[in-house]
């Protein structure tokens, strides 16, 4: 097992109380699996991604355990996490491509980064160049400043940097949202290539764009309001989902080839609940078309068939 | 209703305005009454610039925009205000369209002060309530709130309600749903189609092909400021002819099929040659020395309601 | 009827949502907890109070010869007397008043001109911006000292008001630059475009959309201009280019030095005014730093 997360609870401290952004999350990722993490804004996917690597104020660790390659990750302790960060677990945060120091050449930035982890820059130069070729960047890029690169180039550079030390787990947070369609495709395919070449063992790809996940992810985890709704292989999530939220979400996506006049799409009425005082029981209850009285009790996230987990009383009815 | 005639926008950059940066080059198209037209392009295509020129927020370098027979560059203070009674816009970021210091309702107050100063209070309240209901909002839930207390979807609909107060004929919708959640996007989209059936014309600017296909009968594909393909949405989507359109269709992530094995050339930052075709550096069927380099290919009607700007569209390189 | 009204009232109360404390209250809350603001404001208010109360405590005129020469502070003459036998305390409190007046008028005028120029240049852009920029730069490099000497030669009698006007007309470029930059960045925001599409006139857009988002900046600009005006006035007074028929803190120091108080070690004549100027201007700047923390939440100590 590559990644095992058990009952992870991470809240945000605010002036008005704790926002229960991640409220008891349990799931596993196998070696070599690319798991997509999808959900709407406020569902907790970015919190999940960041808490695995960099749990800092205002995030607050409440409880839970994270095991990577059979080793417990001390995510509550920023200092202890230092030796795991970048070498065993790595993250590409959402605006990474805009966060590069504009006054540093790329090469200098890389050597500083590696130096801080105790790795000699010169030794890794050949491997670095090989990877730059893989992502179709010339070796000159090490001598350029970030402002000379386009968005796509910067994103590919960040991809290379984050995976330079072959981490076991890579978390990619919305890395394709700001890119053109053609660059999106190239960057997404590079992610898969990196996994295929074993530069990275497993990945969590966080995005709101489920169609990209359909193209590259092996499995998809759907989150809603800080809790997990469904996890299954990509095929099942897209073509035969079981959780009502997943069903409504998939059916609200416009598809090429479908017109309003032929088939009007329907959204999900209502709003996601505020997580300062989340509703008791199933958080999707208020907007769910098939909610019934048992839903005031929180449904557990249970495996209903091999590798297919759902948190919904309606689906568990037969097995409960 | 709205006609763009060889519109161009060229920015002067560099010290003393030496270098020229063309954002929009010789774009012509029209939008009829009660029609939704999608303006599809990626970043750098000039689609937002066109939207802002139509709304008279940016000056036009050359060409004419004609609304119901009137050239909008001739509009001054009074006539310009009249123009805004007929044409309005909604932009991408719902939160930045509101002045953060005041409540969301202020946008209605401004409309009243500028356009309906003599209307009585009770009559105005009724007008607001009916506009809000037209866009699917409950007046009790959304009035008298600050922008941060409403969701993105509600804010965008609020802006559409504001435009409806003026009884506009034409709406420029610039990426209005790209910052919304998937579940609310569809509701705003459906709202636009409902408004169209009541006579409103909409220019729907987007980078998302599937949205364009969903709501519009006609589409315009833009690349680097030029129109590369234009015509009925059905024909463009099922029979794309321009190499760029073909590339777009192949690269868009879809839920019904996986990406094929296509080698896609990535976009270069700056275009070296500004006289030739904009797609020159990435085109698989380009004629390196000849026409593609020297001239921008003109828009040619290849079948009814399907125009392409490419000299070699017929040649099929296997994709 | 009354029942209907009562029902309506209670409906309204039920419907009032829990709103975050309005921006002004939030600002005041943080402002008065910030130590720098407290200290700075406290010092300035102390001197201001002195300006009002001081003259009530003395019945002398500032230039009247009321006592022996160069007497150190005592219970009779609280701050001693000058080399000419004038009461230093009277001079001090009246000088404070003049200093504050110059700050308000000079600083206020400078702020007003700078803000207007900055707004118009920032909003309009293009040729208007270029033109106003040129004017700003010219005023910036004018040798104010030379012009002052010319004015001094022509106007034998000058008062506080003329001095304030001069300072206001020459110190505004800094404010204009700052305001222009902020206006530029605010102008490209979507809500300004929305206002334009509502047919609002440009001046109205500047004052109702842009300026309210810059209130913190404008306040700090005024404080800086205020302090700056006081400093400039003090310098001018000290070198003899100040008002001819009034007393100010700078003038006190000027007279003190000219009449040899330095040699006679009559510190009570030139140290208090110097110290007061330093205290007032320094406190204004400290208050400004504190306000910057208040307005920019990222700098606040949580």
| Domain coordinates in residue numbering, chain B | 2-308
> Å from B111 to nearest chain C CA?
6
Check pLDDT > 50 for residue B153.
Answer: yes
> Å from C114 to nearest chain B CA?
24
Determine the pLDDT at residue C265. Answer: 81
Determine the pLDDT at residue C10. Answer: 40
Report the percentage of chain A scoring pLDDT > 90: 19
Report the percentage of chain C scoring pLDDT > 70: 89
Long-range contacts of C22-27 (CB under 8 A, 24+ apart): C23/B101, C27/C294, C27/C295
Name every chain B residue with its beta carbon within 8 A of the beta carbon of C212: 99, 101-102
Please check whether residue B224 touches A, CB under 8 A: no
Quick one: C302 exposed, middle or buried, by C-beta within 10 A (0-12, 13-18, 19+)? exposed
Alpha-carbon distance of A90 to A113, in angstroms, equals 13
Tell me which chain B residue has its CA closest to the CA of residue A40: B181
> Å from B12 to nearest chain A CA?
20
Please check whether residue A186 touches B, CB under 8 A: yes
pLDDT in tens, B71-118: 888 888 788 888 999 999 999 888 889 888 788 888 888 888 888 888
Check pLDDT > 70 for residue C26.
Answer: no
pLDDT in tens, A24-77: 899 999 899 999 999 888 788 888 988 998 888 888 899 999 998 888 888 888
Residues 28-57 of chain B with CB under 8 A from chain A are: 42-43
pLDDT in tens, C171-191: 899 899 999 999 988 888 889
Please check whether residue B263 touches A, CB under 8 A: no
Determine the pLDDT at residue B77. Answer: 79
Candidates B101, B113, B149, B172, partner chain C, best to mutate (most C CBs within 10 A): B101
Q: Say yes or no for a CB contact (<8 Å) between C194 and B146.
A: no
Alpha-carbon distance of A284 to A295, in angstroms, equals 9
Confidence grade of residue A233 (pLDDT, cut at 50, 70, 90): very high
**For all residues of chain A together, what is the average pLDDT?**
87
Determine the pLDDT at residue A1. Answer: 60
Determine the pLDDT at residue B272. Answer: 57
* Dihedral in degrees, nearest 10, Cα atoms B253, A258, B303, B294: -20
DSSP string, chain B: -EEEEEEEEEEEESGGG-EEEEEEEEEEEEE-TT-EEEEE--TTSSHHHHHHHHTTSS--SEEEEEETTEEGGG--HHHHHHHHHHEEEE-S-TGGGS-TTS-TTHHHHHHHHHH-TT--HHHHHHHHHHHHHHTT--HHHHTT--GGGS-HHHHHHHHHHHHHHTT-SEEEEESTTTTS-HHHHHHHHHHHHHHHHTT-EEEEEES-HHHHHHH-SEEEEEETTEEEEEEEHHHHHHS--SHHHHHHHHHS--SSS---S---PPPPSS-S-SSS-TTGGG-TT--SSSHHHHSPPPPEEEETTEEE--TTTT-----
Determine the pLDDT at residue B271. Answer: 59
What lies within 8 Å, CB to CB, of B82 at 6+ separation is B75
Alpha-carbon distance of C100 to C227, in angstroms, equals 9
**For all residues of chain B together, what is the average pLDDT?**
83
Confidence grade of residue A202 (pLDDT, cut at 50, 70, 90): very high
Confidence grade of residue C12 (pLDDT, cut at 50, 70, 90): very low
Q: Say yes or no for a CB contact (<8 Å) between A215 and B253.
A: yes
Determine the pLDDT at residue B270. Answer: 59
Q: Which two tokens stand for residue C73?
A: 């502070």
Q: Which two tokens stand for residue C17?
A: 């949502």
Please check whether residue B108 touches C, CB under 8 A: no
Q: Looking at the partner chain, which of B84, B100, B146 has a beta carbon nearest the beta carbon of C198?
A: B84
Determine the pLDDT at residue B43. Answer: 81
CB B88 within 8 A of CB B64: no
Please check whether residue A211 touches B, CB under 8 A: yes
Of residues B40 and B274, more confidence is placed in B40
Tell me which chain B residue has its CA closest to the CA of residue C22: B101
Candidates A259, A264, A268, partner chain B, best to mutate (most B CBs within 10 A): A259
Determine the pLDDT at residue C15. Answer: 38
Answer whether CATH 3.65.10.10 is correct for domain B2-308: no
Name every chain B residue with its beta carbon within 8 A of the beta carbon of C17: 144-145, 149
Tell me the whole-structure pTM to 2 decimals: 0.80
Check pLDDT > 70 for residue B316.
Answer: no
pLDDT in tens, B199-228: 899 999 998 888 888 888 899 999 888 898
Alpha-carbon distance of B270 to A150, in angstroms, equals 10
Check pLDDT > 70 for residue C279.
Answer: yes
Measured CA angle at B207 (ends B205, B212), to 5 deg: 65
Q: Say yes or no for a CB contact (<8 Å) between B107 and C212.
A: no
CB A22 within 8 A of CB A51: yes
Confidence grade of residue B287 (pLDDT, cut at 50, 70, 90): low
Quick one: A305 exposed, middle or buried, by C-beta within 10 A (0-12, 13-18, 19+)? exposed
* Dihedral in degrees, nearest 10, Cα atoms A113, A117, A118, A122: -30
Which of C165, C175, C194 lies closest to C112 in space, CA to CA?
Answer: C175
> Which of B61-75, B252-266, B268-282, C243-257 has the lowest average pLDDT?
B268-282
Q: Say yes or no for a CB contact (<8 Å) between C197 and B55.
A: yes
> Which of A169-183, A222-236, C103-117 has the lowest average pLDDT?
A169-183
Determine the pLDDT at residue B102. Answer: 82
Q: Looking at the partner chain, which of A189, A208, A253 has a beta carbon nearest the beta carbon of B255?
A: A253
Structural domains in chain C, CATH included, are: 50-299 (1.10.3720.10)
Please give the average per-residue pLDDT across B253-271, as a whole number: 69
Check pLDDT > 60 for residue A157.
Answer: yes
C126-141 helix and C160-187 helix, angle to the nearest 10 degrees:
140
Q: Say yes or no for a CB contact (<8 Å) between C190 and B115.
A: no
Tell me which chain B residue has its CA closest to the CA of residue C24: B101
Confidence grade of residue A314 (pLDDT, cut at 50, 70, 90): confident
DSSP string, A260-293: TTT-------S-PPPSSSPPSS-TTGGG-TT--G
Q: Peptide bond before A228: cis, by omega within 30 degrees of 0?
A: no
Please give the average per-residue pLDDT across B278-290, as a whole number: 70
Determine the pLDDT at residue B19. Answer: 77
> Å from A270 to nearest chain B CA?
9
Determine the pLDDT at residue C17. Answer: 41
Determine the pLDDT at residue A216. Answer: 92
Candidates A181, A225, A239, partner chain B, best to mutate (most B CBs within 10 A): A181
Name every chain B residue with its beta carbon within 8 A of the beta carbon of A248: 183
Name every chain B residue with its beta carbon within 8 A of the beta carbon of A267: 183-187, 190
Pairing status of strand A3-14 against strand A17-29: antiparallel
Please give the average per-residue pLDDT across B127-139, as a whole number: 87
Determine the pLDDT at residue A83. Answer: 85
CA distances to C40, C169, C219, C248 from C106, rounded to whole Å, are 21, 8, 15, 14
Coil, strand or helix at C187? helix
pLDDT in tens, C33-91: 788 888 888 999 999 898 888 888 887 787 778 778 888 888 877 888 888 888 888 88
Chain C interface with B: residues with Cβ < 8 Å: 15, 17, 19-20, 23, 189-191, 193-200, 209, 212-213
> Å from A87 to nearest chain B CA?
30
Please check whether residue B314 touches C, CB under 8 A: no
Size of interface A-B (CB pairs under 8 A): 120
Determine the pLDDT at residue C16. Answer: 40
Answer whether CATH 3.40.50.2000 is correct for domain A3-316: no
What lies within 8 Å, CB to CB, of A238 at 6+ separation is A210, A214, A220, A250, B255
Name every chain B residue with its beta carbon within 8 A of the beta carbon of A260: 189-190, 193, 214-215
Q: Which two tokens stand for residue C241?
A: 């280019």
Determine the pLDDT at residue C2. Answer: 45
Confidence grade of residue B267 (pLDDT, cut at 50, 70, 90): low
> Which of A127-131, A134-138, B298-302, C110-114 has the lowest average pLDDT?
B298-302
Residues 151-190 of chain B with CB under 8 A from chain A are: 151, 181-187, 189-190
């Amino acid at each position: 097992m590559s990644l095992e997360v058990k009952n992870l609870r991470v809240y945000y401290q605010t002036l008005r109380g704790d926002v229960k952004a991640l409220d008891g999350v349990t799931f596993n990722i196998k070696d070599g699996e690319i798991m997509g993490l999808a959900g709407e804004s406020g569902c907790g996917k970015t919190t999940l991604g960041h808490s695995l690597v960099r749990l800092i104020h205002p995030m607050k660790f409440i409880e839970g355990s994270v095991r990577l390659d059979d080793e417990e990750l001390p995510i509550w302790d920023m200092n202890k996490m230092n030796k795991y960060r970048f070498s065993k677990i790595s993250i590409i945060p959402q605006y990474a491509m805009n966060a590069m120091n504009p006054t540093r050449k790329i090469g200098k930035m890389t050597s500083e980064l590696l130096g801080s982890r105790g790795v000699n820059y010169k030794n890794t130069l050949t491997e670095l160049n090989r990877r730059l070729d893989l992502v179709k960047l010339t070796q000159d890029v090490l001598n350029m400043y970030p402002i000379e690169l386009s968005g796509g180039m910067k994103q590919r550079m960040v991809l290379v940097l984050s995976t330079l030390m072959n981490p076991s787990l890579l978390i990619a947070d919305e890395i394709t949202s700001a890119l053109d369609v053609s660059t999106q495709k190239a960057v997404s395919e590079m992610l898969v290539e990196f996994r295929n070449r074993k530069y990275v063992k497993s990945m969590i790809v966080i995005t709101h764009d489920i169609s990209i996940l359909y193209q590259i992810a092996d499995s998809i985890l759907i989150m809603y309001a800080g809790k997990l709704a469904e996890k299954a292989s990509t095929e099942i999530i897209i073509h035969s989902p079981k959780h009502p939220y997943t069903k409504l979400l998939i059916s609200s996506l416009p598809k090429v080839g479908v017109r309003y006049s032929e088939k009007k799409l329907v959204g999900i009425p209502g709003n996601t609940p505020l997580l300062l005082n989340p509703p008791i029981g199933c958080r999707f209850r208020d907007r769910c078309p098939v909610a019934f009285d048992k839903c005031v009790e929180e449904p557990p996230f249970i495996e209903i068939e091999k590798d297919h987990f759902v948190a919904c009383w309606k689906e568990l009815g037969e097995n409960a | 209703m709205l006609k763009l005639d060889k519109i161009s926008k060229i920015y002067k950059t560099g010290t003393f305005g030496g270098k020229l940066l063309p954002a929009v080059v010789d774009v012509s198209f029209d939008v009829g009454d009660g029609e939704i037209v999608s303006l599809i392009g990626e970043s750098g295509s000039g689609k937002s610039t066109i939207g802002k020129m139509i709304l008279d927020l940016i000056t036009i370098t050359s060409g004419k925009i004609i609304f119901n027979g009137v050239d909008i560059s001739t509009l001054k203070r009074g006539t310009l205000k009249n123009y805004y009674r007929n044409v309005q816009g909604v932009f991408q970021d719902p939160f930045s369209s509101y002045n953060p210091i005041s409540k969301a309702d202020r946008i209605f107050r401004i409309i009243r002060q500028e356009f309906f100063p003599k209307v009585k209070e009770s009559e105005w309240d009724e007008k607001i309530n009916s506009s809000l209901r037209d866009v699917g909002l409950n007046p009790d839930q959304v009035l008298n709130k600050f922008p941060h207390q409403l969701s993105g979807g509600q804010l965008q609909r609020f802006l559409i309600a504001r435009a409806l107060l003026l009884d506009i004929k034409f709406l420029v919708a610039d990426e209005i749903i790209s910052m919304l959640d998937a579940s609310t996007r569809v509701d705003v989209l459906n709202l636009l189609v409902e408004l169209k059936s009541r006579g409103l014309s909409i220019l729907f600017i987007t980078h998302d092909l599937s949205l364009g296909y969903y709501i519009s009968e006609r589409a315009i594909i833009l690349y680097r400021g030029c129109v590369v393909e234009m015509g009925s949405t059905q024909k463009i989507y099922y029979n794309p002819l321009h190499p760029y359109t073909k590339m777009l269709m192949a690269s868009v992530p879809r839920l019904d099929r996986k990406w094929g094995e296509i080698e896609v050339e990535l976009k270069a930052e700056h275009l070296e040659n500004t006289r030739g075709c904009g797609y020159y550096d990435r085109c698989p069927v380009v004629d390196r020395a000849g026409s593609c380099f020297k001239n921008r290919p003109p828009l040619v009607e290849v079948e009814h309601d399907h125009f392409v700007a490419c000299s070699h569209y017929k040649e099929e390189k296997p994709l | 009827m009354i029942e209907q009204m009562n029902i309506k009232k209670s409906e309204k109360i039920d419907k009032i949502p829990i709103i975050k404390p309005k921006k002004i209250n939030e600002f005041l809350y943080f402002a008065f907890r910030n130590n720098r603001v407290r200290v700075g404001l406290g010092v300035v208010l102390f001197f201001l109070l002195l300006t009002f109360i001081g003259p009530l405590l003395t019945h002398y005129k500032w230039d009247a010869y009321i006592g022996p020469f160069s007497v150190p502070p005592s219970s009779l003459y609280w701050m001693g007397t000058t080399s000419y036998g004038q009461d230093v305390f009277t001079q001090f409190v009246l000088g404070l008043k003049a200093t504050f007046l110059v700050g308000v008028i000079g600083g206020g005028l400078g702020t007003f001109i700078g803000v207007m120029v900055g707004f118009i240049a920032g909003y309009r852009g293009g040729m208007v911006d270029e033109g106003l920029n040129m004017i700003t730069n010219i005023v910036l490099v004018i040798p104010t000292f030379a012009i002052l000497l010319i004015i001094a030669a022509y106007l034998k009698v000058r008062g506080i008001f003329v001095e304030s006007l001069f300072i206001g007309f020459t110190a505004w470029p800094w404010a204009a630059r700052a305001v222009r930059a902020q206006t530029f960045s605010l102008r490209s925001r979507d809500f300004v475009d929305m206002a334009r599409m509502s047919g609002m006139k440009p001046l109205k857009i500047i004052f109702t959309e842009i300026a309210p988002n810059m209130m913190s900046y404008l306040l700090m600009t005024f404080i800086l201009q205020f302090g700056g005006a006081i400093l400039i006035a003090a310098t001018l007074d000290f070198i003899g280019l100040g008002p001819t028929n009034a007393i100010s803190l700078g003038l006190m120091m000027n007279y003190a030095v000219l009449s040899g108080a330095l040699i006679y070690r009559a510190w009570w004549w030139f140290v208090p005014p110097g110290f007061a100027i330093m205290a007032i201007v320094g406190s204004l700047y400290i208050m400004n730093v504190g306000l910057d923390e208040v307005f920019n939440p990222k700098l606040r100590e949580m």
